[in-house]
Amino acid sequence: MSKNSKVLALKYRPQAFKDLIGQDVVAETIINSIKANKVPNAYLFTGIRGIGKTTTARIVAKSLNCLNGIEKLCKENFCDNCEAITNSNHIDVLEMDAASKTGVDDVRDLIEFSRYGPTSSKYKIFIIDEVHMLSKQAFNALLKTLEEPPQYLKFIFATTEIRKIPVTVISRCQRFDLSRIKSSELLNFLKQITANENGKVSEDALKLIVKISEGSVRDALSLLDRGLLSIDQNKELDLKKAQEIFGYFDKSRLIEIFELIIQGDEKKVISEYRKIYDQGIEPKIFINDFLELIYYFKNIEALTLESTNFSLNDGEFSKIKEISNNIDKKTLILFWQFTIRSIEELDIVSNQNLAIEMFLVRLIYLSSIKPIDDKKNDNLSKIIEKKKIVSEIKSKESVNQIKNVTQEKKITNEVQTEIKAEKKFLINSFEQLLDICNQNKEIKLKYELENNVFLVSFEKNRIEISFNDSLEKNFVKDLSLKLYEWTGERWIITFSKIKGDMSVKEKKLNIKNELFKKVENSDLYKEVVKIFPDANLVDVSSSDEKD
């Protein structure tokens, strides 16, 4: 494949430390360690996707095995070793994808291969990409070799999920956290690539690409590649066209909707939103952008145009600053909370578009709350609390209309449980719990408590138990609901490894057995047996009510 036919992400992949952008500290540290001959046994590169983890790993391999030495590293005209590593066919540099080779047998083969020294270079190097995908057994097999490898052997790991790697492995590596690429650096890089490709892209369109890529160079290059392929050779990729291609919309329209919400114009708010929706904008993208806009309104005084990650242009930045002067900060905080809650609702409803429209209507009513003097803070809290309750009820009603039958039934049960919770009992012991089960005719629950549960401890609003194999799988759920219904309080039910006390059934059986033995040893029973040799003791009852 010729270089010109490659996608931009591969065509402009850095081949030397000088080509890396945004990782100057990492590059300088690695070069200094090689110059000082203090090369670690293993490198570990971590960070988000597309910032150069695997690329840096290959550059490190070149730096260790370059025929020209560290002082005269290849930068353009590569030596045989650097060229082979670039083409992934160097005999002493093995690159492995841990996502496809996760087992302990793969690592054992790697360790076996490591016993042989390098053939044509100074170091034998293993590059393991997505190392967090290795199994626990594979990591354990790697530990000893990783800590004390031969002088000629080096490991280079790359991962996006550092938390999934055992601490014992991390401690044996020199860790480098690669940072997101700054917006200004990435913008300048894209401008340079666009010029090299003889493309025509406006600066606003490039800024949109920077925003969407979220600091990932690979994502930015892929988006740029897609944008350049979507237009004719002699045309320019402007912001409007870029928004259509990438599924984003003009922020000025979102600011206009926000202003209409503050003014309370429900009809225009819904109309403007539907225009945006008709363009094919996903509801989740809309609401996430709305959340970002609330942040800008709240913190606009402490922000600069660059710190908004190119989400806004000069006019939008000034417009937000102007509108924010007429909005109470407390209202913006409430807007933020409602928006977060509405994001969760999108995963529940079948028609996300309806949920967004109801969300905008709720914000209009919420914005009608007027700020009150500090002396009346208590009243403000009460008003806000009432407003929250009303909004939640409206939200539940709207969501119920579009939920499936199972979800409707679940919410109905929850409401009924809330109503029943008004009738309260005091439950201070396990025996009282059994009595209340009996009073409320919860026979199944009482049976489980008496026969299959072993009490470990009973405290206020907390029960710790162990159980046998016959316990119903829904027992904890059923008991929790009933306890809340009876007491009006939440109870925590935990399982313990401790055996616990005997079950109620076992206790009764023991008492019965003791009573049988007591009667069998009594003089009265012995006299009866003498008179009636065939007599059998069938049952015993005590005249003591407590027994």
pLDDT in tens, 239-250: 888 888 887 766
Q: 204 burial class (0-12, 13-18, 19+ CB within 10 angstroms)?
A: middle
311 three-class SS? coil
Are 217 and 52 in contact, with CB atoms under 8 Å apart?
yes
The four Cα atoms 358, 360, 365, 370 give a dihedral, to 10 degrees, of 160
- pLDDT tens-digit map of 313-370: 677 778 888 888 888 888 888 889 888 888 888 888 888 888 899 999 988 888 765 5
> What separation in angstroms does the CA of 332 have from each of 116, 197, 288, 386?
65, 44, 15, 17
pLDDT bin (cut points 50, 70, 90) of residue 59 is very high
Q: What is the pLDDT of residue 395?
A: 52
DSSP per-residue codes, 472-502: -TTHHHHHHHHHHHHHSS--EEEE-SS--SP
Q: DSSP for 141-157? A: HHHHHHHS--TTEEEEE
Domain ranges of the chain: 3-177, 183-246, 251-402
Q: Kindly report, residue by residue over 520-529, the tens digit of the pLDDT.
A: 788 777 777 7
Confidence of residue 156 (pLDDT cuts 50, 70, 90): very high
* Cross-strand partners of 156: 43, 127
Least confident of 65-74, 155-164, 214-223, 526-535: 526-535
- 401 has a pLDDT exceeding 70: no
Backbone torsions φ then ψ of 423, nearest 5 degrees: -85, 115
CA atoms within 13 A of residue 267's CA, in its CB half-sphere: 0
8 A C-beta contact, residue 94 and residue 126: yes
What distance in Å separates the CA atoms of residue 300 and residue 295, rounded to the nearest whole number?
8
Give the pLDDT confidence of 403-423 residue by residue, as tens digits: 444 444 444 455 444 444 445
Residue 186: CB atoms within 10 A of its CB come to 27
- Please give the pLDDT value at position 396: 52
Q: What is the topology classification, in CATH, of domain 183-246?
A: Helicase, Ruva Protein; domain 3 (1.10.8)
Average pLDDT over residues 462-489: 84
- Please check whether residue 319 is in contact with residue 296, taking contact to mean a CB–CB distance below 8 angstroms: no
Q: How many CB atoms lie within 10 A of CB 478?
A: 14
Q: Is 80 exceeded by the pLDDT of residue 375?
A: no
CATH code of the domain made up of 3-177: 3.40.50.300
- Which residues does residue 316 pair with via DSSP β-bridges, in sequence order? none
Determine contact, residues 124/154, Cβ cutoff 8 Å: yes
Q: Could you report how far apart the first and last alpha carbons of the chain are, in Å?
A: 92
Please state at what angle helix 283-299 crosses helix 314-324, rounded to 10 degrees. 60
- Residue 199 in this model has a pLDDT that exceeds 60: yes
Q: The CATH number of 251-402 is which of 3.40.50.1980, 1.20.272.10, 3.20.20.140, 1.20.120.80?
A: 1.20.272.10
**Share above pLDDT 90 across residues of the chain, in percent, rounded to a whole number:** 20
Strand, coil or helix: 21: coil
* pTM for the model: 0.58
Give the per-residue pLDDT at 128.
Answer: 93
pLDDT at 376: 45
